[in-house]
Chains A and B, each alone.
Chain A
Amino acid sequence: MTKKYVMLADTTRCINCKACVVACRAEWDTPIGHTRDWVKEVEFVEEGKPQVMLFPGRCQHCDDSPCVEACPSGAAYKREDGIVLLDHDICSGCELCVGTCPYEARWLNPESNTISKCTFCQPRVDEGLEPACVNTCVGRALIFGDMNDPDSEVSRLLKEKEWQQLVTDEVSVGPNHYYYTAGQSIPDEVKPKVPERHLAGKTMEIINPIGAIGIAGMALAFLGAGVMKFIGRRNEVSTSENKEEK
């Protein structure tokens, strides 16, 4: 069976040590000021007591990835096992994908001039290792694995606990990142934002169907003209043949 990789984040076990962020930055040598993963703190008051929730975040490797749909060159793509990757050889750094990510997981790398994002540490995964962040997580808040394997830890945990995805009624693109919050609802601060598109991207969304309809319309119109011409010519020939017979 095809693998389907997912990441689980148990927010009740996260201690905000940011070891995952450090491990990721070390693994991928990200430039100063940029990171592929993060931990978002959400503070609130419950029954008069201050509370904090911790949400480790990264690319959610969505099933209906808006970034893949927006990429003009196919540099952004989704592997069969669910990992959303980027072909740096063809990424132009045009950033058409950046605004479309509801989790703000994509950014233009100033060193490579291509887009960077979490890849679930795909080279490590292909070698049978865990992603760097999972490997280093001291509280075992992050768990990674194949949800199609019934014996995997993620399959077991997904059955045992009630996990939530970062989705809303408006934005539901099939993220493959699950969160356990011990029954707490997902705070608005970490919910996905409505994908934004550059004006150029929106323009293409309008131009493409108009262009396709225009070309198809022209082709149909001239096909019709050709058929009319053919019928007219056939009538002319049969009329002249009738005259000759008479």
Chain B
Amino acid sequence: MSDTNTPRMILVREKKSVYMHWFNAGIRLLLLLTGFGIISGELVRIVPAFWPEFMQGLFGGNDNLILTHSVLAMIWIVVFVLFILFNLTNIVLPFLKNVLVLTPSAAIRDVKSMIINLFQLFGLMKEVQIPPQGRYNGAQRLLGTMIIFCSFALAFSGLYLFFGPQFLNFSENSLYGAIFRWALVAHITSVFLVLTGIVAHVYFAIVEEPECLEAMKSGYIDVEFLKHHNKLWYEELKQEGKV
């Protein structure tokens, strides 16, 4: 006889996806801490002056800090590229298919459901029904799409910021310097966008939907939670005979 209080769990995430998520989170945190320590000038600095001073002191100079940040970023890029190459069809493409918001109509639909979701956090629009969601809800899809594009921007701008001055003769062509300056803008903007989204991501994982956090730790999720939050996905899994 089954215990009715024990939630019925199903496996929805492979271990390697779980490890990849936490690797990504950890290395991005380190990149954030080191990156905020690099940018020093008053007019371009993002955090209070004590942080660059502390970090540069800790690493024995900004040159060491820049090198650490760059090596971490390259590890991040290499691991991601390898993960994508080895899991393209079974994990990456299905993930992209589920998460990417590429058309205006999809964006409008997801923005609407995200707004309802956010308003409901503050006790507003309680009577408005959120349309049934698939594996990822509107807010998750928008966040996912933003993070994917920002990650490309971070990787390419970061590679140019590190390798550009080493391999290009900036005095030969003023375009090289201009690209560097705009790469810096793109890098910083992407960091801001990702951080803004991460605040919501962390809040939902910890406060609103700890079931999702559990799924990101063990790979298993409560079927009842799926039925309520991801109805379309639940139906899909039911059709496939997985629940």
Contact = CB atoms under 8 A, between A and B. Distances in A.
A222 interface: yes
A72 B177 contact: no
B180 A73 contact: no
Given A92-B165, A225-B207, A69 B43 contact: yes
Given A113-B170, A113-B171, A207-B192, A225 B165 contact: no
Contact of A200 (B62, B165, B171, B181): B181
A225 B184 contact: no
Interface string A200-233: 1101110110111011001100101110110010
Contacts of A108: 170-171, 177
A96 B200 contact: no
Nearest to A112: B171
From B177, B180, B188, B189, residue with most partner A Cβ within 10 Å:
B177
A182 interface: no
A217 to B, nearest CB: 8
B178 interface: yes
A72 B52 contact: no
B46 A200 contact: no
Contacts, number: 133
Interface string B199-233: 11001000110000000000000000000000000
Interface residues of B, number: 43
B62 A73 contact: yes
Contact of A90 (B41, B66, B171): B66
Interface string B58-93: 000111001000000000000000000000000000
B161 interface: yes
Nearest to B40: A74
A225 B209 CA distance: 13
Given A71-B41, A95-B177, A90 B199 contact: no
A89 to B, nearest CB: 5
A132 interface: no
B43 A204 contact: yes
A94 interface: yes
A63 to B, nearest CB: 13
A204 B183 CA distance: 11
Contact of A201 (B121, B123, B181, B191): B181
A118 B195 CA distance: 40
Given A94-B180, A113-B171, A222-B199, A208 B40 contact: no
A93 B84 CA distance: 35
B131 interface: no
A171 to B, nearest CB: 16
A94 B181 contact: yes
A93 to B, nearest CB: 4
Interface hub of B44, B161, B185, B189 (most chain A Cβ within 10 A): B44
Contacts of B178: 198, 200
B137 interface: no
Contact of B56 (A74, A89, A219, A222): A74
A93 B171 contact: yes
Interface string B162-176: 001100011110000
A92 B168 CA distance: 10
A208 B172 CA distance: 30
A69 B122 contact: no
A208 B227 CA distance: 42
B42 interface: yes
Given A92-B180, A200-B178, A208 B46 contact: yes
* In the A-B complex, the 9 residue pairs with the closest CB atoms: A74-B40, A211-B192, A200-B181, A110-B171, A69-B42, A92-B165, A222-B203, A218-B199, A93-B170
30 contacts: A69-B42, A73-B39, A73-B40, A74-B52, A74-B56, A74-B62, A76-B41, A90-B63, A90-B66, A92-B180, A93-B170, A93-B180, A94-B177, A108-B171, A113-B170, A197-B43, A204-B185, A205-B43, A205-B44, A208-B46, A208-B188, A211-B188, A211-B195, A214-B192, A218-B196, A222-B199, A224-B122, A225-B122, A225-B207, A228-B122
